[in-house]
Amino acid sequence: MSLKGKTAVITGSNSGIGLGVAREMAKAGADVVINSFTDTDDDHALAAEIGKESGVTARYIQADMSKADQCRALIEKAGACDILINNAGIQHVAPIDQFPTEKWDAIIAINLSSAFHTTAAALPMMRKAGWGRVVNIASAHGLTASPYKSAYIAAKHGVVGLTKTTALETAEEPITANAICPGYVLTPLVEAQIPDTMKEYDMSREDVIKNVMLKRQPSKEFATVEQMGGTAVFLCSDAAAQITGTTISVDGGWTAL
CA angle 49, 52, 57 (to 5 degrees): 95
Could you tell me if 181 and 192 lie in one domain? no
Residue 1 lies in a domain: no
Residue 2 lies in a domain: no
Could you tell me if 134 and 193 lie in one domain? no
Residue 199 lies in a domain: yes
Give the SS3 label for residue 58.
strand
Q: Which residue range(s) make up the domain with 196? A: 186-222
pLDDT at 17: 98
Pairing of strands 247-250, 175-182: parallel
Local confidence band at 4 (pLDDT 50, 70, 90 cut-offs): very high
- With 80 as the cut, is the pLDDT of residue 40 above it? yes
- With 80 as the cut, is the pLDDT of residue 239 above it? yes
What is the spatial distance between Cα 32 and Cα 157, in angstroms, rounded to a whole number?
A: 27
Give the SS3 label for residue 59.
strand
Could you tell me if 209 and 84 lie in one domain? no
Could you tell me if 15 and 100 lie in one domain? yes
Could you tell me if 30 and 113 lie in one domain? yes
pLDDT at 117: 99
Catalytic residue chosen out of the listed positions 60, 148, 152, 184: 152
Residue 88 lies in a domain: yes
3-state SS, one letter per residue, for 77-102: HHCCCCEEEECCCCCCCCCHHHCCHH
Residue 125 lies in a domain: yes
Instruction: Classify burial at 210, counting beta carbons within 10 Å of its beta carbon; exposed 0-12, middle 13-18, buried 19 or more.
Output: middle
Residue 163 lies in a domain: yes
Could you tell me if 123 and 196 lie in one domain? no
Could you tell me if 131 and 90 lie in one domain? yes
Report whether 245 contacts 177 (CB < 8 A). Answer: yes
Residue 21, CB-side half-sphere exposure with 13 Å CA sphere: 32
Could you tell me if 135 and 206 lie in one domain? no
- The CATH number of residue 88's host domain is 3.40.50.720
What is the spatial distance between Cα 47 and Cα 126, in angstroms, rounded to a whole number?
A: 23
Could you tell me if 110 and 215 lie in one domain? no
Could you tell me if 79 and 136 lie in one domain? yes
Residue 103 lies in a domain: yes
- With 80 as the cut, is the pLDDT of residue 101 above it? yes
CA angle 114, 51, 133 (to 5 degrees): 40
Could you tell me if 246 and 207 lie in one domain? no
Q: How far is CA 135 from the centre of its chain?
A: 8
* Active site (annotated) includes residue 148: no
Q: How many domains does the chain have?
A: 2
Local confidence band at 217 (pLDDT 50, 70, 90 cut-offs): very high
Mean pLDDT on 2-13 = 98
- With 80 as the cut, is the pLDDT of residue 1 above it? no
Give the SS3 label for residue 135.
strand
Residue 248 backbone phi and psi in degrees, to 5: -120, 115
Residue 109 lies in a domain: yes
Give the SS3 label for residue 238.
helix
Could you tell me if 70 and 178 lie in one domain? yes
Provide the whole-model pTM.
0.97
* Torsion region of 145: left, alpha or beta (phi above 0 gives left; psi -120 to 50 gives alpha): beta
Local confidence band at 73 (pLDDT 50, 70, 90 cut-offs): very high
Q: Helix (H) and strand (E) counts for the chain? A: 9, 7
β-bridge mates for residue 244, sequence order:
none
β-bridge mates for residue 139, sequence order:
none
